[in-house]
Each structure stands twice: as C-alpha cells, then as structure tokens.
Chains A and B, each alone.
Chain A
C-alpha cells in the first residue's frame, strides 16, 4: 500500500485529497464537539444533497467548485434554519435538526431520482455523492480543496481567541462587547466549508462523522485546546488517507464508510487507551485505589486490635483480620502486600503484627482522615 502511495499517481492524488479533507474537518470538528453542536454537521451534509443536484441542474456542470457551491449554499441554509427555529420558537435544537436533516435529504433523494430518469447521460455519477468516491478525485479537485481548506484553517488561526471564548463562555464574551453572533456565524460557515470539501470523497451520509470522530478522539489525549485541534487534524488526515487508499485500491468499495470506519477505530482506541481520560486508565486506577484502600483498612484493623493491648506491635491471628476485612477480598492478599512493604510482619505460623513503619503509616492515615474531615474544599 505504501509503495502504491509513493508511485501511483492516481492513488497519490486521492490520498492527498483525503488527507486535506480529513485534516480540515477534524480540526474544525474540535469546536463543533466542544460547543455540543456535533449533530449540526449531519444537518449540513444531508442538506447538501439537494444543493448538489440543483447546482448541476442549473449549470449543467459537474465541476467540483460548482457542486461545492451548491452544497455549501444548502448546508448554510439548513444551518440557518435550524438555528433560527431554535432561537425563535419553542422547538428544541435536536428536534429542529432532525426535521431539517431528513426533509432536506428527502428533497435531495427525490431530485436525484428525478434526474436519473431523464435521458441525460451526463448526470451519471452524481449518486456517488451519497457514499463518496475518493477515486473520482482529480488534481484540480485536490487543488480546490487545499485552497478552500487552507483558507478555513487560516481563519481559525486568526479568530482563535474569539472562537475559544465563544465556545467556553459566550455570555461572558458578549458582556465584554465581543459580537458573538458574528463569531458564531463565521464558525458555522467554517463548519459548512469543512463538510462541503469532503462530500465528493466521503459522501453526504457519513461526512459529519469525520467532523466529530477525530475531535472526540483527540479530546481524550489532551487538556489543551490547541493540542486538541492539532491532534484532531492529524487523526482526521490519517483516517482520510487510510480509508481513501484502501477503497481506491481494493475494488470499488465506497470511500465514505471506509474512512469513517478508520476514524471509528481511532475513537475506540482513544476512548479506551488514552492516559487519564481513557477507560483502561480508569479501570487500572480504580483497581489500584481499591487495593490501597483494602490494605489500609487491614492496617487500621490491626492497629485497632493492637491498641487494646499495651504495645502497638501486639500480634493477632490472621483469621481475626479476615473476619474484620471486606468479606469478598479477605485479608490474605493485603497482608502479603503489606509485608512486602515492611509495614507488617508475620509472627509464628498464623499471626501478624505491625512493624514500626506500619505504626507510623497508621498515624499518617489517621491524620489525613481528620484533616479531610476539617473540610478543605
């Protein structure tokens, strides 16, 4: 595959195009995800279908810039409708979105079918916009995508601070006198651009996944907005290249689903494997915490027993400790672990006692507990 990427001209074009679209949509998706507007991309991409068909209808051209303009126009129209319906009526965001998405997509399908019934050979190929066909990308498409996508990313760079505050605390931003509506309209416009440049390769049905997936995955790896933006761009680009090359080489598989599956793998890996936020990380942390808590409670039990005698290292039967411990976990493992740490020591066959270090640890734990109770926030 890598050989093909380096030598095959078509594959190289396709891969480059996919990298650009993945990069742009992944990066911009950062803001869509953080603003909890992930689904807006879905409305944009589905609404683009009638735009594409009508653009072809009107101009008779299948040049990607023409079709992109039609798609963008309708995508923006749908976004505007959803946002103004949400703002001006009592219909909720998700409801407005669902309606806009299905109505526009339905219109697109009707127009597409109508077009296909006409005796016009030239229209063939428009239906690839449903699931995408990266192999159809030619150099001029890629150049267009690079210019449009590059401009979009440049605008994000210019308005970085504005986009950040609009995403974190728009009311506060407004109180500062920053015109949030203009900023948000610009951001919406960029979402539309990010979606539209991917439509030919990925298709209207699944394009929005490329807006959300990389950003959701990137969020797992970092707590910095700029890094999240960069990682999302990278994951988007990788998904794009992988998916496009696989579909372009391995027969006529539609590209969209494969790219989206690649992005899905990145999301899955990130959800599980990312440090701090990943599920595996959390499982390990919970398990460790549990073990430490069980160990400490055995230690405290031993201390409580010993404090009934004159010396803190008074030995006690393991069976007694077992009775006092968590009924499922028991005390055997904890005692072994405590012995390894030099906090308890075995006395005779079945008895245990605290070492000096063990007594010191108990004191530290008890102090920590009472400090906790004093309620530091």
Chain B
C-alpha cells in the first residue's frame, strides 16, 4: 500500500484545466520532489490533495483511505509568502497553531502544547527564538518556523510547498537534513521544488508535472533528459542539463 494515492485528479479554474487527470503513487518513507515549470500546477496539486481546492474530479487516498478520514496524519507547509509576517504574534504561538487541529474547536492550547511546540522548535534550531516577534525573522528563519509548525503535528505524511524558496545555503542544508531525519523515521515527504540541480542529491522519488503528469517514480529512472524536455517544453538546453546532472551526481565531499 502507498502512503498517498492520487487517482484521476483534475482541477480547473474557470473551465481552464490546471491539472489534468493526475495519477500519482507516493510510496511510504520516501522524499519526493514535485518539479515543473511555473504554472505547471505544483502548488495546485498539493492544495487539491489537501482538499484546499475542490477538484473537478478524482480522489486522494492516504494509506488506502480517503484523505478526509486521515487528515490528522498529514501535515502541510505552505509557501512562506502566503502569510503576513507582520501579524502580531510570536514564533512559539505560530508553531502552536500546528496543534489546533488536534485541539479541535474552542479548546485552548495549554502548557503541554507549548512544550511540544518548543520541542519542534528545538528540532529546527529555533528554540531561542520562541518569544521573538515573527516580523523580526529572516526568510530562512520564517521557513524553519513553518517547518516546526508542521513537525509539531507529528504526522506521517508531509506536504511542503517550496521550503527552499529564498533561504540561504546554511538553512537549505539544515532543512534537507531535517527531511532526511523524517525519512529515517519512516515518514513520507512530498516537496514542491524549483532547483533541478539538487533533485538527484536530495530526493529519491520525483514527479515531473506540467498540467499533466509527465512521469513519476524513482529519480534514477524518471529524472531523464527526455522527460525533463517534455516537462519544460524544450526550454532547458541539453548541455546545461547534462552539466547539472553530472554536478548533482558528484558526491558532496568532492565539491
């Protein structure tokens, strides 16, 4: 059984399809990248899987059961730019929001919940920022706060929308280590990713998306020149791609 099964998923805005008949299988315990050009529907796919956008057709299964029955086993990291970081609140409070689903209606977070949030902040090295106003965070710190908010959900499947967007190299490294730790713990992580170069290094599965599913599966098998060309419509030069691939394939220590 797969961690996530997407079947025949179609999404349309004003009758224009943005996702067409997507089938996707995400096995347990993998890191999967979702790549594709701008407007390919990467964010839409994640939102449709999470039920944030109503699909025109299709279904989503988590562990073989409909998503809405498995919601508490799924965590979501939205794009960093999707919220107002000048909102009057602090880091700990934002991370605690990850527990609101578990708390349910009306119940307020208590000391034990704040302790869980602090624990999640520790995992992203942001413990000392707990009382910091969120407006005073750098881009990388904002991203780590969002990750901590997803970690505190203690889910089995994580969907992350561009967690590497606009973060510095150090943060990128610590985020990828975090993702690997999740995988080691048997979790499944699906990540919308922009940087083709790092796909082979960071991920073991990849979905190539451009409104339709071009290919999906293990990186070794489907992250090919041909598939990429189909996905990006020939906008990627052959040579640059070969360069990217060989660079990405070089073990870290030799760089």
| A in complex with B | yes
| Given known A168-B89, A223-B90, contact A377–B135 (CB-CB < 8 A) | no
B100 touches A178 (CB 8 A): yes
In the bound complex, residues from chain A placing their C-beta under 8 Å from that of B72 are 177
A residues in contact with B82, CB < 8 Å: 169, 171
Question: Which of the candidate stretches A49-57, A153-161, A253-261 sits at the interface with the other chain?
Answer: A153-161
A34 touching B103, Cβ below 8 Å: no
B141 at the interface (CB under 8 A from A): yes
B170 cross-chain contacts in A, Cβ below 8 A: 376-377
Whether A377 and B106, one on each chain, are in contact in the complex, defined by CB atoms closer than 8 angstroms, is no
Taking CB atoms, residues of chain A closer than 8 Å to B139 are 377
Partner of A174, one of B51, B105, B140: B51
Bits for B203-233, please: 1 = Cβ < 8 Å to A, else 0: 0000000000000000000000000000000
A171-B89 in contact (CB<8A): no
Contact yes or no, A225 B76, CB < 8 A: no
B97 lies within 8 A of A168 (CB):
yes
Answer whether residue B246 sits at the interface, using C-beta atoms and an 8 A cutoff: no
Interface of B is mostly: mixed
Query: B83 touching A223 by the CB < 8 A rule?
Result: no
Q: Which residues of B contact A224 (CB under 8 A)?
A: 88-90
- Given A90, A223, A376, A377, which contacts B88 in the complex, CB threshold below 8 Å? A223
Interface residue count for B (Cβ, 8 Å)?
A: 42
A301 interface contact, C-beta 8 A: no
Q: Which residues of A contact B133 (CB under 8 A)?
A: 223
Which residues in chain A, 156-181, are within 8 Å of chain B measured between CB atoms? 158-162, 164-165, 167-169, 171-178
B165 at the interface (CB under 8 A from A): no
- Is there an interface contact between B89 and A164, defined as CB atoms closer than 8 Å? yes
Q: Which residues of B contact A172 (CB under 8 A)?
A: 76, 78, 97, 149
B50, B94, B168: which contacts A375 (Cβ < 8 A)? B168
Please indicate the chain B residues that have their CB under 8 angstroms from the CB of A376 in the complex. 168, 170
Complex Cα distance, B78 from A173, in Å, reads: 11
Q: Kindly list chain B residues whose C-beta atoms are within 8 Å of the C-beta of A158.
A: 106
B44 within 8 A of A: no
Contact partner of A168 (CB less than 8 A), chosen from B51, B74, B87, B135, is B87
Whether B88 contacts A162 by the Cβ 8 Å rule is no
Contact residues in A for B149 (Cβ distance below 8 Å):
172
Q: How far is the CA of A168 from the CA of B88 in the complex (A)?
A: 9
Instruction: Choose among B14, B78, B108, B171 the residue that contacts A169 (Cβ–Cβ < 8 A).
Output: B78
**Inter-subunit contact A159/B106 (CB<8 Å):** yes
Residues of chain A within 8 A of B14, CB atoms compared = 90
Interchain CB contact (< 8 A) of A175 among B52, B87, B103, B167? B52
CB proximity to A under 8 Å, residues B136-169: 138-141, 149, 153, 167-169
Report the minimal beta-carbon distance from B130 to chain A, rounded to whole angstroms. Answer: 14
The answer on a CB contact under 8 Å between A173 and B135 is: no
B101 at the A/B interface (Cβ < 8 Å)? yes
A294 at the interface (CB under 8 A from B): no
Asked if A297 is at the interface of the complex by the 8 Å CB criterion, the answer is no
Quick one: which of A171, A174, A225, A377 contacts B138, CB cutoff 8 A?
A377
Which of B100, B109, B169 is the one whose CB lies under 8 Å from A176?
B100
Q: Is there a chain B Cβ closer than 8 Å to A46's Cβ?
A: no
Closest to B46 in A: A175
Contact A228 B88 (CB under 8 A): yes
State A165–B78 Cα separation when bound (angstroms): 14
Q: Are B101 and A177 in touch, CB under 8 angstroms?
A: yes
Please pick, from B88, B100, B141, the residue contacting A173 in the complex, using a CB distance under 8 A: B100
What residues on B are CB-neighbors of A225 within 8 Å? 87-89
Bound form: Cα–Cα A23–B169 in Å: 48
Residue of A nearest to B136 (CB): A223
B168 touches A175 (CB 8 A): no
Of B94, B97, B168, the most chain A CB neighbours within 10 A belong to B97
- Please give the distance in Å from A45's CB to the nearest CB on chain B: 25
User: In the complex, how many angstroms separate the beta carbon of A150 from the nearest chain B beta carbon?
Assistant: 18
Instruction: Knowing A225-B88, A377-B140, A377-B171 are in contact, say whether A169-B83 is a contact too (CB < 8 A).
Output: yes
**Contacts of B55-76 to chain A: CB distance below 8 A:** 68, 71-72, 74, 76
25 contacts between A and B (CB under 8 A): A34-B88, A160-B108, A161-B106, A164-B89, A165-B97, A165-B100, A167-B87, A168-B83, A169-B78, A172-B97, A172-B149, A173-B100, A174-B51, A175-B76, A177-B71, A177-B72, A177-B101, A178-B100, A219-B88, A223-B133, A224-B88, A225-B89, A228-B88, A375-B168, A377-B168
Given contacts A175-B51, A377-B171, 4 further A-B contacts (CB under 8 A): A161-B107, A223-B90, A223-B135, A377-B140
Q: Lowest 5 A-B CB distances belong to which pairs? A: A176-B101, A175-B76, A377-B168, A377-B140, A223-B133
